Amino acid sequence: MAVFRWAAKGKWVHDYRDATGTRHRSIHDSREEAKAEEHRIGSGRRRHRLRPHADPRSTVADYALRWLGRIMPPILKRRAYQAHAEAVRLYIVPRLGKFRVTELRRSDVIGFLTGCLQKGVNGQPLSRGSVRIIYSALRAMLQAAVDDELVTGNVSARLGRKFRLQPTAHERQAATEERVLEPGERRALLDAARAEEEGAWFPLVLTLDRAGLRLGEAIGLEVSDIRFEARKVRVKQTIDRDTGDVGPPKHGPREVDLSPGLAEVLEAHITGLEVSANRGGGKIGKWLFPSEAGTPLDHANVRRALRRLSKTAGLERALCPQDLRHTFGSTLATVELPQYVQAQMGHKDLSTTMQIYGSAFKPRPRRGVALMDDGMLRVTKRSRGDRVVTLARGRTREEVLTN
């Protein structure tokens, strides 16, 4: 249990023992600051002394290796694991590795993050995006230390807000708007894709443009995923960029509406695949956008093709698949409700949709309670003997008011 004592020169001492029995003391300018520290690390809670699941003498460097071994793929996605491992190797271990996990203080983490922002590597400051990745790895590692009962609280908690490492909703929307294509740019890109190499890339580029899929989801589509009668595209899997492994989409399977124009192109595309397969004496493969070898397309090849088509179309910048996805979401947001955009984009929750495309949702006229009159009897009161027109479910009739 924490103890607070008045110290000399108007200071307050926060004295407590963690789950390992190790004693900690910190000095604060006011009792409120000491209480805030107690609330953050959880030292004010009465706890039984528990046996830690790791050596209490572990340094940050030792514990980081143990933690990375526990979150290796498939526990964590490969790209996320690589980002965490790089943050540990290049930043966390060199600067915090000698500290014991049980002795690491919040001020140490604040100083570490400040140094990353101000000095970075070789005196070159790091961007907030890079520091956000480093902070994410450090926070996850120290949370694992809490779960292992090495410490009673995460000393890095809520520092992301303090350092403003996460972009605001306004900044995120502004960044998205910069990537949205104008209608003329979209037409130029699609014309270039249609004209190049007998339109080999056109069906895929149009799918990215009209369905807003992530690249891994698009190249992971199978022929059977296109449901022409239902006008739906079944997005049930994605292909990993680094390994080529097939797995579930980011936030689970979903169905995307199939526009008439895209349906017409994909129907002709599938017919072409069938004709090519018949010529070779075989059957059509399962992939909607196969390579020459019949395997799914490679991410890098698609990105190179899109950059080349951007140059052919005369666009000012080279496009990436995410630009087409943002164009789809932003365009849809100008005419549809946020819930519909969320479902089409496959976002985890509505707040993500609003943070990214919130500026595109235009205010729509509202009728208020007048909506309740639709299809119901409406009577306009007049003086005795006047003709009155009443509306009931779309029909009209005349009456004369009598006593």
- How many C-beta atoms surround the C-beta of residue 118 within 10 A? 10
Query: What's the pLDDT score for residue 22?
Result: 65
- Structural domain for 324, as ranges: 175-360
- The answer to whether residue 55 is domain-embedded is no
Shared domain for 354 and 381, answered yes or no, is no
Query: What's the pLDDT score for residue 281?
Result: 83
- How many C-beta atoms surround the C-beta of residue 359 within 10 A? 16
Shared domain for 161 and 194, answered yes or no, is no
User: Last residue of a domain, which of 325, 341, 360?
Assistant: 360
Shared domain for 227 and 85, answered yes or no, is no
Shared domain for 162 and 190, answered yes or no, is no
Query: What's the pLDDT score for residue 12?
Result: 76
b/e map of 247-256 (b: 16 or more CB within 10 Å)?
Answer: eebeeeebbb
Radius of gyration of the chain (CA): 30
> Residue 349 burial (CB < 10 Å; 0-12/13-18/19+)?
exposed
Q: What is the CATH number of the domain that holds 161?
A: 1.10.150.130
Q: Which two tokens stand for residue 224?
A: 């059977």
User: Last residue of a domain, which of 99, 133, 166?
Assistant: 166
Q: Which two tokens stand for residue 28?
A: 């604060």
Query: What's the pLDDT score for residue 296?
Result: 94
- The answer to whether residue 180 is domain-embedded is yes
Using alpha carbons, select from 320, 345, 323, 319 the residue that is nearest to residue 332. 345
- The answer to whether residue 60 is domain-embedded is no
Shared domain for 354 and 329, answered yes or no, is yes
Query: What's the pLDDT score for residue 369?
Result: 65
Query: What's the pLDDT score for residue 370?
Result: 63
Shared domain for 121 and 262, answered yes or no, is no
Using alpha carbons, select from 117, 173, 170 the residue that is nearest to residue 360. 173
b/e map of 3-38 (b: 16 or more CB within 10 Å)?
Answer: ebeeeeeeebebebbbbbeeebebebeeeeebbebb
Q: Which two tokens stand for residue 262?
A: 């895209």
Shared domain for 19 and 107, answered yes or no, is no
Residues 73 and 242: beta-carbon distance below 8 Å: no
User: Last residue of a domain, which of 106, 131, 166?
Assistant: 166
Shared domain for 263 and 238, answered yes or no, is yes
Shared domain for 184 and 314, answered yes or no, is yes
Q: What is the CATH number of the domain that holds 222?
A: 1.10.443.10
The structural domain count of the chain equals 4
Query: What's the pLDDT score for residue 5?
Result: 57
Angle 169-179/350-357 helices, nearest 10 degrees?
A: 60
Shared domain for 252 and 184, answered yes or no, is yes
- The answer to whether residue 321 is domain-embedded is yes
Q: Which two tokens stand for residue 359?
A: 């500026």
Whether the link from the prior residue into 74 is cis, omega within 30° of 0, is yes
- The answer to whether residue 59 is domain-embedded is no
Query: What's the pLDDT score for residue 338?
Result: 93
Sign of the C-alpha dihedral computed for residues 165, 136, 37 and 100 taken in this order: negative
Which stretches of the chain score pLDDT less than 50? 1, 4, 43-48, 379, 381, 388-403
The CA distance from 200 to 265, in Å, is 12
Shared domain for 148 and 274, answered yes or no, is no
- The answer to whether residue 289 is domain-embedded is yes
Shared domain for 19 and 71, answered yes or no, is no
Sign of the C-alpha dihedral computed for residues 28, 33, 38 and 41 taken in this order: negative
Residue partners of 141: CB distance under 8 A and separation at least 6: 63, 64, 67, 84, 88, 92
The CA distance from 224 to 233, in Å, is 9
List pLDDT tens digits, range 44-90: 444 445 567 788 899 999 999 999 999 998 888 888 999 999 999 99
